[in-house]
Structures are given as C-alpha cells and as structure tokens.
Amino acid sequence: MNLQAVLAQDSRLALIWKKGLANESLTEEEVARFEAYLTMFLFDIEYKLYLLIAETASLSELGGMDVLDRHIKGQIEFIMRSELARTWWRANSDRTFGEVFVAEVNRIANL
C-alpha cells in the first residue's frame, strides 16, 4: 500500500493528516479519519518490518532492534509529536499491534 499516494489522491485527508500532526483542532469526523489513516500508517510500518525480519532467520541477524531505529525512528518521532497521535497510541496500541512493535514505538517516542 502506498500511503503517500492515498494522501496525494485525497486532498481532504491530506489536510486532516497535516492538521492532526500539527496539533490543530479537528472535528469529530476529522479525528476519525486521522485515526484511521494513523492506524494504516503504523500497520504499514509494522508490516514492512515483519517482511524484513521474515526474510532473515531472526531480527538479531539484522543487528537487533537497531534495525527499527534505522528504518522508522524518524517517522515515529515525527508522528508522535502530535498529541492526537500519542493519545490514540496510548489507548489502542496494545490491542492493535504486536508486543515488540509497541515496545519499540514506546521507546522511540518516550512513552
């Protein structure tokens, strides 16, 4: 899934995403769309890491959890500057994502 293409094709969603990341006020509908896109975005990161790991015998062969930092640290830090994203993550991450991914996002975002 090319998530940048989703934003490029949906100017309203792109504006909602931009506003949410900038901690600007969103309507209830905009919050729902922001959260849905955030979920897709984070699933995409987790899935890419899963595929990366699946191609090797183990994550340790890739250099341990340092691989996570190299691939997604900047993206996670950027997204988690949004209070809306942080609030959503705290409420939903444990039941939505894998334990290792949650722990590492929490570490990167200082949560």
Residue 73: the pLDDT is 82
Cβ count near 88 (within 10 Å): 19
Whether this prediction's pTM lies above 0.75 is answered by: yes
What average pLDDT is seen over the chain?
Answer: 85
Per-residue model confidence as pLDDT tens digits over 59-97: 555 555 566 566 678 889 999 999 999 999 999 999 999
Residue 93: the pLDDT is 96
CA pair distance 24, 6, nearest whole angstrom: 21
